[in-house]
Amino acid sequence: MIVAALALPVVIGTGVLIYRAVRDDPAPAPAAEREDLPIIAGFGVIGFRVDDNPAVRCALLAATLAAQQQGMQGRRHLSGYDAMVFAFAQDVTTPFINHFVPVDLSIGWYDGDGLLVDYAVMDACPDGKDCPLHASKDPFRYAIETPVGGLEAMGLTNAGSVVHLGGGCT
């Protein structure tokens, strides 16, 4: 069971191309553009807005297989970023696991238009043992993770919520 849980990130990343051309931006910002945000090795940065709110938020982008596998492992916070975005080249039903993550996370799944598909809370599983899988009820294009409560606070779990991804963070 432990071997299967450890292999899952490889399964998640294998055969999945990261959709780097999110919306109109051909590539995510390579580093934090806001002075208050640190550069996190291995992760890109992408801006996003929620619904019609013009405020641009800033997310870490797991744009490589290594970054996807790392995700929030060993992290208690996002170092000032609002979220972590996983983007896929096509609709997927890939389950997520919170193994080796010491905090509870909120996860939301969104379709190609950024419309909320499903969301869940993933309990911390710091030892990586017997961690449950979490899957959307329907296919999705994007998954967004925050420490528990973050998606709710941004309005990203409301029925009809839309996330607009693309561009840098300002």
Give me the tens of pLDDT residue by residue for the chain, a chain 170 residues long. Answer: 443 443 443 333 323 323 323 333 333 333 445 668 888 888 999 999 999 999 999 999 987 778 888 899 999 999 999 999 998 888 999 899 999 999 999 999 999 999 999 999 999 999 999 999 999 999 999 999 999 999 999 999 998 889 999 988 86
Domain CATH code at residue 136: 2.60.120.1140
Q: What is the pLDDT of residue 135?
A: 96
Residue 130: inside a domain:
yes
Residue 170: inside a domain:
no
Residue 71: inside a domain:
yes
3-state secondary structure 1-70: CHHHHHHHHHHHHCCCCECCCCCCCCCCECCCCCCCCCCCCCCEEEEEEECCCCCCEEEEECCCHHHHHH
pLDDT digits (tens, 9 = 90+) for 112-149: 999 999 999 999 999 999 999 999 999 999 999 999 99
pTM check: above 0.85: no
Residue 142: inside a domain:
yes
Q: How many separate domains does the chain show? A: 1
Residue 21: inside a domain:
yes
Residue 16: inside a domain:
yes
Residue 127's domain comprises 2-165
